[in-house]
Amino acid sequence: MPDTHFYHYDKYDRTLLSERVEQFRDQVRRRLAGELTEEQFKPLRLTNGLYLQLHAYMLRIAIPYGTLSSRQLRQLAAIARKYDKGYGHFTTRQNLQLNWIRLEDAPDAVAMLAEVDMHSIQTSGNVVRNTTADHFAGAAADEIEDPRVWCEIVRQWSTLHPEFSFLPRKFKIAITGSPNDRAAVRIHDVGLRLWRNEQGETGFEVIVGGGLGRTPMIGKTVRAFLPKDEMLAYLEAVLRVYNRYGRRDNLFKARIKILVHEIGIEKMREEVEAEYAAIKDSALKLDPQTIEAIAAHFAPPPLPHRPAISGEVERLKLEEPDFALWLKSNTAPHKLAGYRIVTASLKPAGAPPGDASSVQMEGVADIADAYSQSEVRVSHEQNLVLPHVAVEDLPAVYRALAGLGFAEANVGKITDIIACPGLDYCALANARSIPVAQRISNHFANLARQHDIGDLKVKISGCINACGHHHVGHIGILGVDKNGVELYQISLGGDVDFGKTALGDIIGPAVAADRIVEAVDALVRTYLDRREEGERFVDAYRRIGVEPFKESVYAAV
Amino acid sequence: MPLYREGSLQPVDATGPAPLPLEEWLKAPMQAVSLANTDQPDALSMRLSRLKLVVLHFPKFTDGRAYSQARLLRGRMGYRGELRATGAVLRDQLPFLLRCGFDSFESDQPGFGVALARARSLFSVVYQGAEDNRATVALLRLRQHRQPAELAAD
Amino acid sequence: MAKNLSGDLTVASANRLADGVVVFLDDKGHWTRHLEQAALARDKRASELLLARARAESFSVVDPFLVAVAEDEQGDLEPISLREKIRVSGLTFEAIAADAVRYA
């Protein structure tokens, strides 16, 4: 029996992975020997997830559909300890970044990944990137179907695709199987949303041309309902149209969203459907047995019946207010009544968002072994998730997470900040992100106050590339560089929830780095003064508009 | 630029008529044509069976449009003549080029011929169907599923 | 606070190929991790020559470039831009590795 309840590699997957490691080892050897120039080598290292950042190489490791076994998480911890400084950064795209890798060690590091069926293939470069999914997949109470089955099919199809390895620009796909979209499908190059039509069949809504970055756009529906077995044919059609007609004259206009914007969604649909019609009955059509075989890997773990109500939980709720808050914000409904989905917050007050040390990773792996079927998820909000925790075990899990510093009851609250690595690490950044996140986090550390403020998503990017998703933050913060000084532009009203996806509006001139806490505080005070019963920050903003917020911010800074 | 074909470690001599740019070829359709990577492969369909050589361009090795042109020519249109990659053609592209149906290569890179001889053995398994007609992993798994006894003896 | 009186002070920097570490070109044409050992160009012409030398010595490093610096009365150098300051001095916050000890 495999030790996982998600896709486990067979001899074919393992063979390809080890051959890829050897190919990369040879490429690194040729680069160090001077046989390859940096220009020739760069795309090769990037498609193996290796960047050159400010201080060192950075290795971006894919965590396909955000799902990890405890064994894999332990191996990540071991790699971070052996080849890095003993910590890593979980990103918004279900990847783990190690910030201090040596080029000389990179082939050995990826060989160590391959030992646990993991890789860094196509985590960068102008290729199809790691396909992301709802981090609650397979456990969520509201799920129609597990999207990871389809992510895995996309992973295999997109890995070393001979036609699509030199696209105009990167290509990101996200898949969700729930009406409450936790995968942000409308801000991806392609978003796939599983839904059930009136005939009771499930299929995909295909959304194309979303994305953040320099020119943020919300994706448009190119196909309302696609039969599931035609997914690869349709994706191949989209990619072929993009590969042939996407702009290559200007790096900033090369994403598929610009193509969709320039030719219009109708023309895009026409091109894609014509290409699709020519290939839909080819070998790309998925054999039912293939789908079934991959779906079988994702069969839910055999969870024993456990009581839905626990006396211990009820008692602790009364005795420990922080535990009661944690239950509210950091646990979510599981499809079985006796279980909850637990989010381990990687945002303790004042910590760099999304960072975990090797010790902490191993600690989470131990908790997963004891209480969550040895399984861990990575969310696009840069937290870790224990997907199958029995209600009765919640107090023990809470204490164990608290021991690691990961039990902060702040999921979805103002200190659950998304932040990119920013100018401290990143060669592209204009301003720092992490220190800004730390100051806001420290300022709002009081948990009772955070819960009073309620759901509020703060997202910080250190440059226009928007790795911190600032466009879709309820409060978005973008670092800019003005004559060598870091300033921060504030936007309000962004959202990624399905059906409500919106880009934030910039409120006015950028704010100085040392006034950003005051600015956020002013925004929060305005909301608290003006909110109606049960109204979230972003809803209050929609009702009363930007003016009151603007006034208070510029009075405070 | 040195020309390589599988089967030879050293560059080979280019033989046959010189390829014409598409515009000239349309006026006088000879046996060899050279497409810009923005040209439509469809433009060759009328006289495809007469063509012995189609040259596709990589203005930069990071510009991958010719991979799609190659697959359309081979897979969709059924072109069986020589398909040549020219421009910025580097050895690390070879696994992709071969899979898309290219069978001759112009490259300045030292060691290209040796790399070409080894390129097909770099990856013994492939996930997706392409123009080299290799059995995909999905197909191998289906076969294994359907004939477990046969494969057990394998 | 460092002052840059002459206006055009530069050093040549790069990341070392084998490990990505930040390095500077010294007067002998070697790459050093120490900014204080970096060869200093004091005008535009010298900067151009320095960059040309850095490129000629770039076998073991990646993409050399010039960094504008300021010099104080003691002759200590400091990059002018925040980005380059961070490249020299490292992270501006305490990385979580320190926390790992606390939680261990």
Condensed to tens digits (0 to 9), the pLDDT of residues B108-125 reads 999 999 999 999 999 999
Chains that touch B (3 or more CB pairs under 8 A): A
What is the structure's pLDDT at A447?
97
Q: Is residue A412 part of a domain?
A: no
Tell the burial category of B19 from Cβ atoms under 10 Å away from its Cβ (0-12, 13-18, 19+).
buried
Residues A95/A284/B125/A134 CA torsion (nearest 10 deg): 20
Verify that A145 and A276 share a domain, yes or no: yes
**Contact partners, residue A175, CB within 8 Å, separation at least 6:** A65, A131, A132, A133, A134, A147, A148, A150, A151, A154, A183, A185, A191, A192, A193, A194
Encoding tokens for residue A205?
């809504």
Is A162 close to B145, i.e. CB distance below 8 A?
no
Task: Report CA-CA distances (Å) from B99 to A16, B15, B41, B51, B130.
Answer: 15, 24, 18, 21, 6
DSSP state of A467: T
What is the structure's pLDDT at B154?
45
pLDDT class for A218, splitting at 50, 70, 90?
very high
Tens of pLDDT, residue by residue over C9-61, are 999 999 999 999 999 999 999 999 999 999 999 999 999 999 999 999 999 99
Interface test with A, best of B92, B99, B102, B136 (most A CBs within 10 A): B92
> Considering only CB atoms, which chain B residues are within 8 Å of A20?
123
Verify that B114 and B128 share a domain, yes or no: no
Per the CB < 8 A criterion, the answer to whether A349 and A445 are in contact is: yes
Query: Strand runs (DSSP E) across chain B, as ranges?
Result: 3-5, 20-21, 32-35, 53-58, 82-87, 104-106
Encoding tokens for residue B48?
């495809």
Verify that B94 and B25 share a domain, yes or no: yes
What is the structure's pLDDT at C7?
60
Verify that B79 and B142 share a domain, yes or no: no
Verify that B39 and B111 share a domain, yes or no: yes
**Contact partners, residue C2, CB within 8 Å, separation at least 6:** C70, C71, C72, C76, C77, C78
The domain spanning residue B40 has which CATH number?
3.20.20.70
Verify that B8 and B39 share a domain, yes or no: yes
Q: Is residue A122 part of a domain?
A: no
Average pLDDT over residues A405-414: 98
**Contact partners, residue A353, CB within 8 Å, separation at least 6:** A346, A347, A382, A417, A418, A419, A434, A437, A441
What is the structure's pLDDT at A455?
97
Task: Report CA-CA distances (Å) from A534 to A333, A413, A538.
Answer: 21, 15, 12
Verify that B140 and B77 share a domain, yes or no: no
**C-alpha Rg value of chain A to the nearest Å:** 23
Encoding tokens for residue A85?
């400084």
Parallel, antiparallel, or unpaired for β A485-492 and A505-506? antiparallel
Encoding tokens for residue B79?
């072109």
Verify that B45 and B97 share a domain, yes or no: yes
Chains that touch A (3 or more CB pairs under 8 A): B, C
Tell the burial category of A122 from Cβ atoms under 10 Å away from its Cβ (0-12, 13-18, 19+).
buried
- Give me the domain span that covers residue B148: 124-154
Is A360 close to C63, i.e. CB distance below 8 A?
no
Q: How many domains does chain A have?
A: 4
Instruction: Among A357, A373, A404, give the residue marking a domain's end.
Output: A404
Would the pLDDT of C98 be above 60? Answer: no
Verify that A254 and A350 share a domain, yes or no: no
Would the pLDDT of C102 be above 60? Answer: no
Q: Which residue has the tokens 């290799």?
A: B134
Verify that A261 and A377 share a domain, yes or no: no
Verify that B57 and B7 share a domain, yes or no: yes
- Give me the domain span that covers residue A504: 418-556
Q: Is residue A410 part of a domain?
A: no
Q: Is residue A127 part of a domain?
A: no
Task: Report CA-CA distances (Å) from A87 to A119, A121, A233, A362, A540.
Answer: 18, 21, 40, 11, 39
What is the structure's pLDDT at C2?
46
Q: Phi first, then psi: what are they for B28, rounded to 5°?
A: -140, 80
Chain A nearest-CA distance from B138, in A, is 7
Range A450-460 burial, b when 16+ CB lie within 10 A, else e: bbebbbbbbbb
Q: Is residue A133 part of a domain?
A: no
Q: How many domains does chain B have?
A: 2
Q: Which of A490-499, B39-48, B61-70 has the lowest mean pLDDT?
A: A490-499
Distance CA A151, CA A145 (A): 12
> Considering only CB atoms, which chain C residues are within 8 Å of A434?
93
Distance CA A76, CA A112 (A): 9
What is the structure's pLDDT at A12?
98
What is the structure's pLDDT at A267?
98
Verify that B40 and B114 share a domain, yes or no: yes
The domain spanning residue A167 has which CATH number?
3.30.413.10
pLDDT class for C3, splitting at 50, 70, 90?
very low
Per the CB < 8 A criterion, the answer to whether B77 and B46 are in contact is: no
Distance CA B26, CA A351 (A): 66
Verify that A281 and A316 share a domain, yes or no: no
Instruction: Among A80, A98, A114, give the residue marking a domain's end.
Output: A114
Q: Which residue type does A249 have? A: D
- Count of other CB atoms within 10 angstroms of residue A248: 22
pLDDT class for B61, splitting at 50, 70, 90?
very high
Verify that A143 and A290 share a domain, yes or no: yes
Query: Strand runs (DSSP E) across A209-321, as ranges?
Result: 220-227
Average pLDDT over residues A160-170: 98
Chain A nearest-CA distance from B29, in A, is 25
Tens of pLDDT, residue by residue over A120-136, are 999 999 999 999 999 99
- Count of other CB atoms within 10 angstroms of residue A314: 9
pLDDT class for C94, splitting at 50, 70, 90?
confident
Distance CA B80, CA A6 (A): 43
* Helix-helix angle A358-371:A394-404, to 10 degrees: 170
Verify that A425 and A400 share a domain, yes or no: no
Average pLDDT over residues A194-222: 96
Verify that A20 and A106 share a domain, yes or no: yes
Name the 3-class secondary structure at B146: helix
Angle value at C-alpha A66, between A63 and A67, nearest 5 degrees: 90
A347 to chain C: nearest residue by CA? C96
**Contact partners, residue B133, CB within 8 Å, separation at least 6:** none
pLDDT class for A2, splitting at 50, 70, 90?
low
Per the CB < 8 A criterion, the answer to whether A395 and A323 are in contact is: yes
What is the structure's pLDDT at A498?
73
Verify that B97 and B44 share a domain, yes or no: yes
Cβ-nearest to A162 among B63, B69, B100: B100
E strand or H helix that includes residue A77: helix A70-83
Per the CB < 8 A criterion, the answer to whether B127 and A156 are in contact is: yes
Task: Report CA-CA distances (Å) from A165 to A168, A457, B12, B38.
Answer: 10, 35, 28, 18
Verify that A97 and A40 share a domain, yes or no: yes
Q: Say whether residue B143 is in contact with chain A using an 8 A CB cutoff.
A: no
Tens of pLDDT, residue by residue over A275-323, are 999 999 889 999 999 999 999 999 999 999 999 999 999 999 999 999 9
Task: Report CA-CA distances (Å) from A261 to A112, A126, A207, A217, A256.
Answer: 42, 20, 13, 9, 8
Q: Say whether residue B36 is in contact with chain A using an 8 A CB cutoff.
A: no
Average pLDDT over residues A514-525: 98
Instruction: Among A229, A260, A295, give the residue marking a domain's end.
Output: A295
> Considering only CB atoms, which chain A residues are within 8 Å of C67?
none
Chain A nearest-CA distance from B3, in A, is 20
Verify that A423 and A547 share a domain, yes or no: yes
| Dihedral sign, Cα of residue A418, residue A423, residue A424, residue A426 | positive
Tens of pLDDT, residue by residue over A492-518, are 999 988 788 899 999 999 999 999 999
Average pLDDT across chain A, whole number: 96
Task: Report CA-CA distances (Å) from A336 to A14, A300, A301, A326, A385.
Answer: 34, 11, 12, 20, 17
Q: Is residue A244 part of a domain?
A: yes
Q: Which of A418, A357, A358, A429 is nearest to A53 (CA)?
A: A429
Would the pLDDT of A539 be above 60? Answer: yes
> Considering only CB atoms, which chain A residues are within 8 Å of B64?
126, 163-167, 243
Distance CA B56, CA B106 (A): 10
Per the CB < 8 A criterion, the answer to whether B126 and B96 are in contact is: no
Angle value at C-alpha A199, between A198 and A202, nearest 5 degrees: 90
Distance CA C31, CA C58 (A): 9
Is A12 close to B125, i.e. CB distance below 8 A?
yes
What is the structure's pLDDT at A497?
81
Name the 3-class secondary structure at A272: helix
Is B68 close to A156, i.e. CB distance below 8 A?
no
Verify that B61 and B111 share a domain, yes or no: yes
Verify that B99 and B132 share a domain, yes or no: no
ipTM of the complex: 0.95
For chain C, the domains span: 10-103
The domain spanning residue A24 has which CATH number?
3.90.480.20
Q: Is residue A465 part of a domain?
A: yes
**Contact partners, residue A394, CB within 8 Å, separation at least 6:** A310, A313, A327, A331, A340, A342
Per the CB < 8 A criterion, the answer to whether A56 and A100 are in contact is: yes
Range A171-204 burial, b when 16+ CB lie within 10 A, else e: bbbbbbbbeebbbbbbbbbbbbbbbeeeeeeebb
Q: Say whether residue A301 is in contact with chain B using an 8 A CB cutoff.
A: no
What is the structure's pLDDT at C99?
45
Q: Is residue A85 part of a domain?
A: yes
Angle value at C-alpha B113, between B107 and B119, nearest 5 degrees: 100
pLDDT class for C4, splitting at 50, 70, 90?
very low
What is the structure's pLDDT at C101?
38
